[in-house]
Structure 1
């Protein structure tokens, strides 16, 4: 059984056929998935999905690209949602220095507020990182994020950054890019991550794995990520699937 720890079935790209997409995932052995809401609209859709499906859970938070739109009311709303039995984490939060919609200082402030909230409600955090590894590690350390731990989502950093994050009680999650032909670094890093700190995801509809690169991604394709990492580690798909599923259930406290 496979556990896709990061999906956006709440994205507009799935409006027409999300039921068939979920069915295809189940047919490929995906037993659970976590749908991530990162702004007003996507959080509402994520909560609707968890009410509809037993095997889907939610993570809710505010994306760094949209940090400039974040209000105290939004923070209170996320705190309320954190009490829902199927909300298993806060995020995706973090820093994104690629897009310039939200100034860096505002991103950092919103990131810190969400880490503090996660500690208050005792939920793990899901980190979005784009071109901001050093600042993210610094803030995680300063805010004592190790108390709740979490996931470095769609990890694309160095093994050194991965180790610093694992030391703070974080899991390292890989998606489609680890399957790309030219993805030398992600492959090397995935090989090094200990089995008890490893997770898999699709981040669908984005970042589809090879051979679907450039097309709409979907949770069924998490199997391709699992196959690639199992091959890198020289283990069976079954062992990789079992361990990453166990890890996901542990970090999200799913019985």
Structure 2
């Protein structure tokens, strides 16, 4: 990438313990890689104070508040109020999530829906986009969002760490969602993800790391970090047959539009 190119890591988790010892070095690397902004996702309310502290430390950071579908045990009767207050208290909260459905690891669909629905309602109430985790659950997720759209209650948002089929992708695009590609797009056998990266409209996709998970090739299996979003952008550029500077420019523009970033 040219020195003037900028990138946004639209989904990361640097609050995790495996960043404690070298986070300043990690930040130096993401800045050197051209990452000018990053969006820190939240998986459960207990994380919010620590994520807020990271936003104090790194002015290029914005964040979300929410409950992950594999963390339903952290949902209680007052959780939606906690999330609402956190969002109202800090203008750096630019999304609700990560929320969604995951039927790969858990099969408790009704329990996950009971946690998902009030968060979608909150996003509509606060006019914030949602960050959607959807694994082996495209059908029930689409059903939920289509019902909401028919009622005028479907928020904007992004399908994060995209791993579905092109057909599923187009269904979410039809609902107005963005598609975000992570390190999985660099994996040699991720053929469906490759096809999605080729087909997605230029104004509707983002890049992310989902760090510390899913480090891109050639660092697969190692700790991921925000600087490595450059490898994601490079692979998407290859798949689309365009210059990586073009991918950097459009994904930065798309992330700024979706999350109303400065």
2:99 and 2:119 in contact (8 A); partners too? yes
Residues 139-178 of structure 1: matches in 2 within 5 Å?
Answer: 139-144=144-149, 147-178=154-185
CA distance in 2, matches of 1:80, 1:222: 31
**Candidates 83, 94, 97, aligned match of 1:78:** 83
**Per-residue displacement from partner, 1:208-227 (whole Å, max 9, x unpaired)?**
00000011000010000000
Distance 2:255 2:153 in 1: 17
Distance apart, 1:103 and its partner CA: 2.3
Q: Distance in 1 between matches of 2:40 and 2:30?
A: 13
Alignment of 1:116 onto 2:98:
no
Distance in 2 (CA, whole Å) between partners of 1:13 and 1:136 is 32
Q: Does 1:21 align with 2:21?
A: no
1:38 pairs with 29, 39, 43, which one? 43
Gaps of 5+ in 1: none
Query: Are 2:102 and 2:136, in contact at CA under 8 Å, matched by a contact in 1?
Result: yes
**TM-fit CA distance, 1:20:** 1.3
1: distance between equivalents of 2:104 and 2:68?
Answer: 13
Give the Å deviation of 1:146. Answer: 6.9
| Cα displacement string for residues 182-221 of structure 1 (whole angstroms, at most 9, x for unaligned residues) | 2211111110001100100000000000000011000010
SS at match of 1:9: coil
Q: TM-score, normalised by structure 1?
A: 0.96
Check conservation: 2:45, 2:65, Cα contact below 8 A: no
Among candidates 99, 102, 105, match of residue 96 of structure 1: 102
Alignment partner of 1:59 out of 64, 79, 103 = 64
Using the TM superposition, give the Cα deviation of residue 44 of structure 1 relative to its aligned residue in structure 2, in angstroms: 2.3
Question: CA RMSD for the aligned pairs?
Answer: 1.3
* More displaced stretch, 181-190 vs 41-50: 41-50
1:43 Cα deviation (Å)?
Answer: 2.3
Deviation at 1:98, TM superposition (A): 2.0
1:251 is matched with which residue?
258
Q: CA deviation at 1:147?
A: 4.4
Deviation at 1:161, TM superposition (A): 1.2
For this pair of structures, how many residues does the alignment match? 254
In structure 1, what is the equivalent of residue 3 of structure 2?
Answer: none
| 1:169-208 alignment runs, 5 A limit | 169-208=176-215
1:155 aligned counterpart, secondary structure: coil
Structure 1 consecutive aligned stretches of length 4 or more whose deviation exceeds 4 Å: none
